[in-house]
Amino acid sequence: MKPAPFEYYAPKTTEEALQNLTDLGYSGKVLAGGQSLIPAMNFRMARPSALVDLNNVAELAYIKLTDDGGIAIGTMTRDNAVEHDPIVKQRMPIVAETMGYIAHPQIRARGTFGGAIAHADPAAQLPALSLALNAKLLVKRKGAERWVTAEEFIVGPFMTVLEPEDMLAEVVLPPLAPRTAGSYKQVSRQRGGYAQAATISVVSLDDRNHVKDVRCVLFSVGETPILSKYAAKVLVGNEPTEAAIADVAAYAAKNECDPGSDLHGTTEYRRQLVEVLVRRALTEAVLRAKK
Amino acid sequence: MTQLVKINVTVNGVPYEREVEPRLLLSDFIRHDLKLTGTHVGCEHGLCGACTILFDGQSVRSCIMFAVMADGHKIETVESLGTPEHLHPLQEAFMEKHALQCGFCTPGFLMTIVDYLGDNKNPTDEEIREAIDGNYCRCTGYENIVEAVKLAAKKMAAHS
Amino acid sequence: MAERVFHKSILRNEDPQILAGKAQYLDDIELPGLLYAAFKRSDYAHARLKSIDVSEARALPGVIGVYTAEDFGDLVKPGPLQVPPPTAIKGATYSSRTLMPIAKDKVRYSGEPVAVVIAESRYIAEDACDYIYPDYEPLEAVIDLEKALQPGATLVHEDLPSNEAAHVVQERGNYAEAAKKADVIIKKKIYVDRVAAAALENRGIVINWDEKAQMMTIWCGTQSPITLRNATASRMGLFENQVRVITPFTGGGFGPKINTSMPDDVLLTELAVRLNRPIKWYEDRRENFLATTSERDQVHYAEIALTKEGKFLGFKDVFYHNSGAYDPYMMTVPLNTQTHTVSNYNIPNFYTEITMVFSNEMVVTPVRGAGRPQGVFVMERMIDAAARELKMDVAEIRRINLIQPDAYPVSTGIIGQDFVEGVLDSGDYPTALAKAMSMIDYKKFREEIQPKARAEGKHLGIGICTFTEGTGVGPYEGAKITVGGNGKVSVATGVATQGQAHYTTFAQIAAEQLGVEVKDVKVVTGDTGAFAWGAGTFASRGATVAGTAIHLAAVKVKDKALKLASKILETPESELELVGGYIQVADIPGKKISLGELASMANPMRGTFPPGAEPGLEAVAYYGPPYGATGAGCMAMILDVDAETMKPKIERLVMVHDCGIPINPMVVEGQVHGGIQMGIGNAFFEKVFYDETGQLLTASFMDYLFPQATDMPPKIEMGHTEIPSPLNPLGIKGVGEAGAIPTPAVFTQALEDALYDTGVEIMESNLSPSKVYSYVMKAKGA
């Protein structure tokens, strides 16, 4: 289990990195934390001919408040830096909560926030989180940049809008409205393992405790993270009653996800999990938002 | 032509300058280039934890990093802890609680725990289990490792 | 009197070296000029290998050679049987098709080597594998055991009339007659699936051929160094003493490392000589899943016949055992299943029939438990089915059928893996059951805790099962003990160590006799240069068989030392004692001689030597038991199941265990803990999946779920009973596999109990929440 040979580039600045990516085109691939890529290379399931290692680009690792009170996270920010960041914990506890589900601490010490989103693993937490929080993603290429919403960014399993010369440079999590809270729920065979089904649900309440906004994202149950449209349709403007939540959960499980059968779970079982988890997550998010 | 990259790495306080192939795994670099064979390789896909080292003070899997990524960084391996004659308190605790059998996974556990106990001085059983969850052991059933971590926390508090 | 060191929890001699990262494991060994091997493995489970193109691979820089079957000539033939066939069983039939070192013409399992690359680094060797192009003609894969036996089925070995590898029937009493008298007969089909040993250290080998000395040195983390040496020597036309096998520190064995004459050791010893360069192969995890042996795969059709009071009258078990593509290990595993199905219960009539089947899966050889967990699973699940039918308490139905403590020795009438009729040497099963029930508060759980939990909508379930573990089987082991001029004691034995604390427990046995400190006993295991005889580490036999040999050798050395000291100190032997490294005259302080001095005097360099005397304070002894010593126990478990997600949490786990007199209770507990980790894995996490084409779907830890710290119960609550074995002077029995044996049965029982309101019955091991959900849905008629 040794990786195949590759050419190696170690840029020190974003500019240099973008130049490398432009020069290499389809033969180049970004090496961020490497926690998914390198195992795949060790199995020789991934064999990029050239790697552009961003680990020396110090300017890509940061967490800062945006002017409107959101949080901007540099693409090379390590998962554990986000997990333990006091601003993140205080302003967006759902982010810190989610980070704790990513594999194990040793992986979070190397894995990067942007790297995981760009990898677009349908079973991974951060693409789902970015969708749940309606994140804005800054995509750079040599001499140009553009903003993409999380919804637009992922186009399929392990597929994004990124072109070979592109780099995901920054992720902006917009500020949460008052009385907004999220809940993360998953079932995985083992702690730190891939979810068999999971949801990140974020709920905003108004003064009367009616739902102002809800973003219920299902993941690891389809080709991409899935934003439940039905949740918004049923809940927004209404009281999040037990019955309404149960209705959303049942509908999402039946109609809004597409889990396959694999070694560890049948489609039926995973739909059952979606129903249970959505119900539990929405219930908890509502409870938290009321506080 | 095989590309070779010059790297400077400090391992257990000793600076090394080496030329390596970019694809060389950090675990192989530590074990075979530097001959520090205390770090073990059990799966080479980042799950078993036998290859855990400290990278700039944080526990990481050396089998899913390239040696070139260590350029300019500091690494500690199990050899940095204690010698057979003068074990580190954590190592002593492992011995006293029978927290190892074949010992192959042990260096990885030690490096995970030494990092963890740095930030968590008095963990509960459950917290310890979560902290060591990313290290596999086939011999001990983990229970004595949990006991050893608790004992080590006490010993280390007494030492500091 | 010297302080007793036997039967005492003494910290391990080997730990400081291991903890400091200074213990040498296989892959730590480097030699000048070392070359690295990698195998090109078949992607197909069953295919004709029409041709193979290695020209591109050979041309890669850094590649020394690429070899296929045609490069190995006569070497390409089936290897030796590792275990003889059970000819002692009347009517047994078998076909031995042993492992090929490299595939020729046909591949029979996914992962079978078709070429071997030798290169300057493992990286380059793996590169070369990518440039090897085999041309396969795929054949239908033989996967389903029962379909495999149907007429016209595709054949794994085309020279055989069918895929039947062996057939064995054993019976004590007469089941058919017993069934006629029964009030109740219950029939079930029961599955147990395959698991990997998954030692943290993979397999590996380093070989050095010294042409000038005509000496081959092999480092290998094998459980059977003597077998490896003997097979290598005879294959290569060398004397046994021209091959030295050294087992370095080994990162766990758990069964599969017993195998020799595998592709790696056969081909690489040959290439090391041919190339006259040392070669290393350290298996990677993917290879370990693909091409290291695994075990458990069986399908049982079981029947239990009972009175309406729940007394067992008879048991019938007809089962299919998956042997994999070859059967070099013959019938050890299914014979163990037979002997462990009924061993702890009074069942006068027992019929058991094995059909061993070839399939296009990896070869099956023992994995910690070795057939025993299947036997126990089948029996215990059938008892639970009976309890359900008779509306009896699951503990009570067990209690009334257990063999009583005054019955030993008990002949089982069933011939086991050691080819002699099984005899239970000693035990006390009712006490173990009672103790486990009391430790887990069985009565209180049933009467208070569970009803309360159920009233609150919680799903708490309890399981309680008994088991035996046949251990310490023959043929024999030996040991050599030598007192050095330094006053310390050296122990050498033929078994190898994979973490069992032999460096300490064997030292305790020797120190107990010789009055030295345990840390002053240096134990060498598994170095054929240090001790050249023995069979190996398997069947929980190291401590029992080699340990007894060490004891016997130590007694001899002690006698020799006392005789010599008696002359020198001019004191009768009866007044001498061994304490603190000295032989001293009791009650006369200062009148003593150190063992070191005595050792030097026992080896005079000048002068005369009495006829018949033997030099040195040294002795060799051998021990072979007439049959194995039987350990036993009872496990109880409480599960809390989330009935929506089917995720269970083990709330409590109690294990009451008997392994005779424990040499080192701390080590015994550790062994049991480890076995339970594997047992929990087997029950609910681990499963080697082959699809219908024979592709292995679990070739990584991403798919093969290895139990983690949070998958275990918060505490393993241990209770011991110490019933000494009468078979050996130390009263010891083996313990290595105990934890793995009852766990899947107990877990499944507790799971059913937790899900009481669904009426679910689960006759399958290696579960998952999804599978449990499917069973529940079926039970609900959904």
Q: Which residues contact residue C273 at a Cβ distance below 8 angstroms, ignoring those fewer than 6 apart?
A: C209, C216, C236
Q: What is the DSSP letter of B57?
A: T
At C116, which helix (H) or strand (E)?
Answer: strand C113-119
Tens digits of residue pLDDT in C580-601: 999 999 888 889 999 999 999 9
Listing DSSP states for A191-207 in one string gives TTSPEEEEEEEEEEE-T
Domain boundary among B55, B79, B103: B79
Torsion of CA C5, C10, C13, C17, to 10 degrees: -170
Compute the distance between CA of residue A48 and CA of residue C327 in angstroms, rounded to an integer.
Answer: 41
| Ordered DSSP codes for C532-552 | -----S-TT-IIIIIHHHHHH
Query: Rounded CA gap, A129 and A147, in Å?
Result: 17
CA distance B46 to C514: 48
Query: What is the rounded CA–CA span in Å between residue A223 and residue C526?
Result: 52
Q: How confident is the model at residue C337 (pLDDT cuts 50, 70, 90)?
A: very high
C-beta separation of C765 from C682 below 8 A: yes
Provide CB contacts within 8 A for C160, sequence distance 6+: C95, C97, C358
Distance (Å, whole) CA C27 – CA B40: 9
| Residue B114 lies inside a defined structural domain of this protein | yes
Q: Which fold has domain C298-473+626-779?
A: Aldehyde Oxidoreductase; domain 4 (3.30.365)
Are A105 and B131 an interchain contact pair (Cβ–Cβ within 8 Å)?
A: yes
Measured between beta carbons, the chain B residues lying within 8 angstroms of A194 are: none
- Which of C22, C29, C200 should we substitute to test contact with B (largest number of B Cβ atoms within 10 Å)? C200
Domain C15-22+474-623 shares a fold with domain C31-139+202-250+256-291: no
Most C-contacting residue of A273, A274, A275, A276 (CB-CB within 10 A), to test interface: A273
Name which of C290, C302, C293 is nearest C323 in CA terms. C293
* Chains interfacing with A (3 or more CB pairs < 8 Å): B, C
Helix C372-390, helix C743-754: angle, nearest 10:
30
Q: Domain ranges in chain C?
A: 15-22+474-623, 31-139+202-250+256-291, 298-473+626-779
For residue C409, say if its preceding peptide bond is cis, omega within 30 degrees of 0: yes
Domain that holds residue B144: 89-159
Chain A residues with CB under 8 Å of B8 CB are none
Residue C328: Cβ within 10 Å count = 24
Q: What is the DSSP letter of B121?
A: S
Tokens of C367: 């994995």
Q: Could you tell me which residues come within 8 angstroms of residue A155 by beta carbon, excluding any fewer than 6 positions away? A: A161, A224
- pLDDT confidence of residue C587: 86
Residues B96 and B149 in one domain: yes
DSSP state of C681: I
pLDDT over 70 percentage in chain C: 100
Is C23 near chain B, with CB under 8 Å? Answer: yes
Tell me: the pLDDT tens digits for C501-542? Answer: 999 999 999 999 999 999 999 999 999 999 999 999 988 899
Give A254 to chain C, closest Cα distance, Å: 16
> What is the nearest CA distance from C74 to chain B, expressed in angstroms?
35
Class of domain C15-22+474-623: alpha beta
CA–CA dist A220, A199 (Å, integer): 9
| The pLDDT of residue C200 is above 90 | yes
**Which band of pLDDT confidence, cut at 50, 70 and 90, is reported for residue C2?**
low
On whether both B13 and B72 belong to a single domain, the answer is yes
Split into its structural domains, chain B has a count of 2
Q: Which amino acid is at A226?
A: I
Pair of tokens at residue C289 = 């899943």
Which of A220-224, B84-88, C95-99, C607-611 shows the lowest per-residue confidence on average (mean pLDDT)? C607-611
d(CA B28, CA B67): 8
- Set of chain C residues whose Cβ sits within 8 Å of the Cβ of A276: 644-645
Nearest by CB to residue A10, choosing from B21, B23, B68, is B68
The answer, for C600 touching chain B at a CB cutoff of 8 Å, is no
- Spatial separation of the C-alpha atoms in residues C630 and C324, rounded to whole Å: 29
Q: How far apart, in whole angstroms, are the C-alpha atoms of residue A213 and residue A215? A: 7
| pLDDT higher than 60, residue C1 | no
Task: Clarify whether residues B98 and B72 are in a common domain.
Answer: no
For residue C444, the number of C-alpha atoms closer than 13 Å in the C-beta half-sphere is: 6
Q: Please say if the pLDDT value at position A189 is more than 60.
A: yes
- How many Cβ pairs within 8 Å bridge chains A and B? 91
Rounded Cα gap, residues C462 and C636, in angstroms: 7
Q: Which of A5, A35, A105 sits opposite B64 (nearest CB)?
A: A35
Q: Which of B79, B105, B139 is the last residue of a domain?
A: B79
Is B142 within a domain? Answer: yes
Measured from the Cβ of residue C663, the count of other Cβ atoms closer than 10 Å reads: 29
In terms of C-beta density within 10 A (0-12 exposed, 13-18 middle, 19 or more buried), how is residue B141 classed?
buried
**What DSSP character marks residue C530?**
T
Q: Are B62 and B96 found together in one domain?
A: no
Q: Are A211 and A290 in contact (CB under 8 A)?
A: no
Question: Does B84 reside within a domain?
Answer: no
Integer Cα distance of C178 and B2 in angstroms: 76
**C31-139+202-250+256-291 classified as CATH 3.90.226.10:** no
Position A291 scores a pLDDT of: 86
**Facing residues of A159 across strands?**
A156
- pLDDT grade, residue C607 (50/70/90)? confident
Asked if the C-beta of C34 comes within 8 angstroms of chain B's C-beta atoms, the answer is no
CB contact under 8 A, A266 and C773: yes
Cα-Cα-Cα-Cα torsion B34, B35, B37, B39, nearest 10 degrees, comes to 0
Q: For residue range C237-250, what is the model confidence (pLDDT) as tens digits?
A: 999 999 999 999 99
Contact C20 B38 (CB under 8 A): yes
C485 class by beta-carbon count within 10 Å (0-12 exposed, 13-18 middle, 19+ buried)? middle
Report d(CA C663, CA C554) in Å as an integer: 15
Q: Rounded distance, CA C545 to CA C537, Å?
A: 10
- Alpha-helix residue ranges (DSSP H) falling in C357-463: 372-390, 394-399, 429-439, 442-444, 450-455
Given B49, B79, B109, which residue is the final one in a domain?
B79
Task: Kindly state whether residues B142 and B110 are assigned to the same domain.
Answer: yes
> Is the minimum CB–CB distance between B37 and chain C shorter than 8 Å?
yes
Whether residue A248 contacts residue A230, with contact meaning beta carbons closer than 8 Å, is answered with: yes
CATH number at residue B53: 3.10.20.30
Q: In this prediction, what percent of chain A has a pLDDT beyond 70?
A: 100
- Which structure tokens are listed for C658? 């008997």
Determine, for residues B103 and C19 on separate chains, whether the beta-carbon distance falls below 8 Å: yes
- The alpha-helical segments, DSSP class H, found in chain B are 26-28, 89-96, 106-119, 125-131, 143-159
Q: Could you tell me if B20 and B53 lie in one domain?
A: yes
Nearest CA in chain C to B131: C709
For chain C, give the mean pLDDT.
Answer: 96
CB contact under 8 Å between A107 and B61, yes or no, is yes
Contact A39 B23 (CB under 8 A): no
B151/B96 same-domain check? yes
* Interface contact flag, B94 C19, Cβ < 8 Å: yes
Q: Does C17 touch chain B (CB under 8 A)?
A: yes
Tens digits of residue pLDDT in C710-762: 999 999 999 989 999 999 999 999 999 999 999 999 999 999 999 999 999 99
Mean pLDDT to the nearest integer, C312-326: 98
Q: What is the pLDDT of residue C612?
A: 86
* Same-domain status, B19 and B72: yes
- CA–CA separation, C741 vs C367, rounded Å? 11
Beta strand B5-11 with B74-76: parallel, antiparallel or unpaired?
parallel
Q: Which residues of A touch C284 (CB under 8 A)?
A: 1
**A43 chain-C contacts, CB cut-off 8 A:** 286, 700
Chain-wide mean pLDDT for chain A? 97
**Beta-sheet pairing, B52-55 with B58-61:** antiparallel
Residues of A in contact with C711 (CB under 8 A): 190-191
pLDDT, averaged per 10 consecutive residues of chain B (160 residues), comes to 93 98 98 98 97 98 98 98 97 98 98 96 97 98 98 90
Burial profile C524-534: b = 16 or more Cβ within 10 angstroms, e = fewer: bbbbbbbbbbb
Q: Which domains can be identified in chain A, with CATH numbers? A: 7-56 (3.30.43.10), 58-173 (3.30.465.10), 181-290 (3.30.390.50)
Which of A31, A51, A104 is nearest residue B134 as measured by Cβ atoms?
A: A104
- Across the interface, of A5, A55, A80, the residue whose CB is closest to B23 is A5
Overall average pLDDT of the C150-167 stretch: 97
Distance CA A213, CA C83 (A): 69
- Note which residues in 132-151 of chain B have CB less than 8 A from chain C: 132-146
Query: How sure is the predictor about C153, in pLDDT bands with cuts at 50, 70 and 90?
Result: very high
Give the tens place of pLDDT for each residue, A86-126. 999 999 999 999 999 999 999 999 999 999 999 999 999 99
Interface of C with B in 474-513 (CB under 8 A): 498-501
Kindly identify which residue of chain B lies nearest to residue C669, measuring between CA atoms: B140
Distance (Å, whole) CA C509 – CA C582: 17
Name the amino acid, one letter, at C503: Y
Cis? peptide before C475, omega within 30° of 0:
yes
Please compute Rg for chain A using Cα positions. Answer: 19
* Number of A–C residue contacts, CB under 8 Å: 65
Q: Which of C498, C675, C709 sits opposite B129 (nearest CB)?
A: C709
What average pLDDT score do residues C237-266 get? 97
Over residues C87-115, the mean pLDDT reads: 96
CB contact under 8 A, A8 and B52: no
Q: In 3D, which of B60, B126, B136, B66 has the Cα closest to residue A79?
A: B60
Q: What are the angstrom distances between the C-alpha of C174 and each of A104, C93, C178, C352?
A: 57, 22, 6, 11
CB C653 within 8 A of CB C635: yes
Of B45, B59, B112, the CB nearest to A43: B45
Is pLDDT above 70 for C24?
A: yes
- Distance (Å, whole) CA A35 – CA B63: 10
Phi-psi region of C73 (alpha: psi -120 to 50; beta: other; left: phi over 0): left
Which burial class, exposed, middle or buried, applies to B108 when counting CB atoms under 10 A from its CB (0-12, 13-18, 19+)?
buried
**B23 to chain C, closest Cα gap in Å:** 9
